[in-house]
């Protein structure tokens, strides 16, 4: 383990997360535009290639869980960051469908491996400095992720407005550099020794028998859909339904990022006073209220609609502040120490499911009525909130 003092380890962890998220934010808006402008691949085929890459890497969280229970999670995180750095370099030269599929699979593999191991790494680093609670660490990670993606997205937005191929290539190189730098920070400053207890020979068999945890993972898929729904829905609703300028969407999403950055840490300290299940129910209630505001806004005149959308954005921000650190800390408490990596990795399958469900849910209901997607997500959160107390009662531990 490096001799870096506790404060430096925490700073290094936040820095690595922020730099990696900046890399993601840089390229996220360019994911399809990049290959459309640099290749002759039709949009329909490009969509199939990118979608296939996402599907074939779905099992990665299960593999990552097994891996992080055997080797230091920070090693897996560093490897995942390096894979993503290599993928972005590949993007600069991929021009044919097979090559685009290959680098897309590499990118998806690195991303899933990263998100399936980083939370175990965060917990390990927190333990290595003697932290009794993990919520502040997960809150700091969420803030770093939000700020990084926001900063990267603003730069990418400017690049898209230029529409220059050279600029696109520069963005890809910059994203690769961000992930390489993040990997270097992890290797140099974060503990590389295992802090887990002895291995559990039962492995995934024990996890599959943990019905409350599986139920929590299923319920969290609703929360994961809710988390990504603001960014997924606002661009289309604001432009196509309200007929408003695109900068309004940017302002709302930047406001969401600023709220999380400013209130994430104090919000985590506040929610730590209450049991995790109660905090998750409160987060679901905020999502219900936020969805109600957004649904109402779709049927109001533009000025009132924007006010409703601003209120909905504030409520969504509150939900994420409550949900993100609390859900991960809750899983950490529920997991047997020897199976922590498996539990935290399998929990990420809820977010994998949301990646597929959320776009289908939004697009299929939006064509019926602009308010319908938000009403559906609100209804799902009502069901999720009603389920959480039963899961808590059946859990093998009393959550903090």
Give me 75's structure tokens: 């090693």
Domain co-membership, 178 together with 229: no
Whether 400 is covered by a domain: the verdict is no
Is there a domain that residue 210 lies in?
Answer: yes
More reliable by pLDDT, 35 or 174: 174
Judgement on whether residues 13 and 117 belong to the same structural domain of the protein: yes
Scanning the structure block, which residue is given the tokens 């909130």?
Answer: 385
Q: How many domains does the chain have?
A: 2
Helices (H), 237-348: 246-271, 276-297, 302-334, 340-347
Q: pLDDT averaged over the chain?
A: 88
Q: Is the pLDDT of residue 8 over 90?
A: no
Instruction: Identify the DSSP state of 241.
Output: I
The pLDDT of residue 1: 44
d(CA 8, CA 14): 10
Predicted pLDDT at 192: 67
Q: Tell me which residue of 268, 273, 378 sits closest to 320, measured CA to CA.
A: 268
Same domain, yes or no: 137 and 268: no
Q: Return the closest-CA partner of residue 71 out of 162, 168, 172, 194.
A: 194
50-59, 75-84, 193-202, 226-235: the lowest-pLDDT one: 193-202
- Is 54 a residue whose pLDDT tops 90? no
> How many angstroms separate the CA atoms of 288 and 280, rounded?
12
Same domain, 247 and 300: yes
Q: Would the pLDDT of 29 be above 80?
A: no
Give percent of the chain above pLDDT 70: 93
Same domain? For 323 and 215 the reply is yes
CB crowding 155-164: b at 16 or more within 10 Å, else e: bbeebbeeee
What is the distance between the alpha carbons of residues 217 and 328, in angstroms, rounded to a whole number? 11
Output 155 or 386, whichever has higher pLDDT.
386
Q: Tokens 């991929």, residue? A: 94
Say if residue 119 is in the same domain as residue 241.
no
Beta-carbon contacts of 54 under 8 Å, excluding residues fewer than 6 positions away, are: 108, 355, 356
For residues 165 and 159, give the distance between their C-alpha atoms in angstroms, rounded to a whole number. Answer: 9
Burial label for 372, CB within 10 Å (0-12, 13-18, 19+), is middle
Question: Of 85-94, 218-227, 237-246, which range is least confident?
Answer: 237-246
- Residue where a domain stops, chosen among 132, 163, 189: 189
Comparing 329 with 249, which gets the higher pLDDT? 329
DSSP 365-391: HHTT-TTHHHHHHHHHHHHHHHHHHHH
- Which residues, 6 or more positions from 213, have their beta carbon under 8 angstroms from its beta carbon? 207, 331, 334, 335, 343, 395
In this structure, the answer to whether residues 214 and 103 fall within a common structural domain is no
- Residue 221 is predicted with a pLDDT of 96
| CATH number (domain holding residue 25) | 1.20.1250.20
Please indicate, yes or no, whether residues 17 and 129 belong to a single structural domain of this protein: yes
Residues 218 and 307 in one domain: yes
* Interval 195-237: pLDDT, tens: 555 555 567 888 989 999 999 999 999 999 999 999 888 888 9
Which range marks the domain in which residue 243 is found? Answer: 204-394
What dihedral angle (degrees, nearest 10) is formed by the CA atoms of 230, 235, 240, 246? 140
Question: Do both 159 and 304 map to the same domain?
Answer: no
Calculate Rg over the CA atoms of the chain: 21
Give pLDDT tens digits for 149-190.
888 877 877 776 676 788 888 889 999 999 999 999 999 988
Task: Report if residue 198 sits inside a domain.
Answer: no
């Amino acid at each position: 383990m490096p001799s870096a003092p506790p404060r430096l380890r925490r700073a290094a962890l936040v820095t690595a997360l922020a730099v990696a998220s900046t890399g993601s934010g840089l390229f996220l808006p360019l994911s399809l535009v990049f290959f459309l402008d640099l290749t002759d691949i039709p949009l329909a085929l490009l969509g199939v290639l990118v979608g296939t890459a996402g599907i074939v890497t779905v099992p990665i969280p299960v593999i990552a869980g097994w891996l992080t229970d055997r080797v230091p999670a920070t090693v897996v995180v560093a490897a995942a960051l390096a894979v993503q750095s290599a993928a972005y370099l590949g993007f600069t030269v991929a021009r044919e469908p097979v090559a685009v599929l290959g680098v897309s699979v590499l990118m998806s593999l690195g991303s899933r491996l990263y998100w399936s191991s980083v939370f175990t790494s965060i917990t390990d680093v927190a333990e290595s400095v003697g932290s009794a609670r993990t919520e502040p660490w997960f809150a700091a990670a969420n803030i770093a992720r939000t700020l990084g993606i926001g900063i990267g997205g603003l730069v990418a937005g400017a690049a898209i407005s230029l529409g220059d191929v050279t600029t696109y290539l520069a963005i890809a190189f910059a994203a690769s550099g961000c992930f390489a730098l993040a990997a270097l920070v992890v290797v140099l400053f974060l503990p590389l020794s295992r802090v887990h207890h002895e291995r559990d020979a039962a492995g995934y068999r024990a996890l599959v028998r943990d019905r409350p945890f599986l139920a929590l993972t299923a319920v969290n898929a609703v929360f994961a859909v809710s988390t990504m729904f603001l960014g997924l829905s606002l661009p289309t609703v604001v432009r196509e339904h309200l007929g408003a300028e695109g900068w309004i969407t940017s302002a709302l999403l930047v406001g969401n990022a600023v709220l999380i950055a400013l209130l994430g840490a104090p919000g985590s300290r506040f929610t730590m006073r209450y049991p995790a299940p109660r905090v998750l129910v409160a987060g679901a209630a905020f999502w219900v209220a936020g969805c109600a505001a957004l649904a109402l806004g779709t049927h109001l005149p533009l000025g009132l609609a924007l006010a409703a959308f601003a209120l909905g954005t504030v409520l969504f921000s509150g939900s994420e502040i409550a949900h993100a650190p609390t859900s991960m800390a809750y899983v950490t408490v529920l997991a047997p120490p020897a199976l922590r990596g498996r539990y935290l990795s399998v929990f990420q399958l809820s977010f994998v499911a949301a990646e597929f469900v959320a776009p289908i849910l939004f697009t299929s209901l939006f064509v019926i009525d602009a308010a319908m997607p938000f009403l559906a997500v609100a209804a799902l959160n009502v069901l999720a909130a009603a389920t959480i107390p039963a899961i808590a009662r059946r859990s093998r531990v009393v959550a903090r």
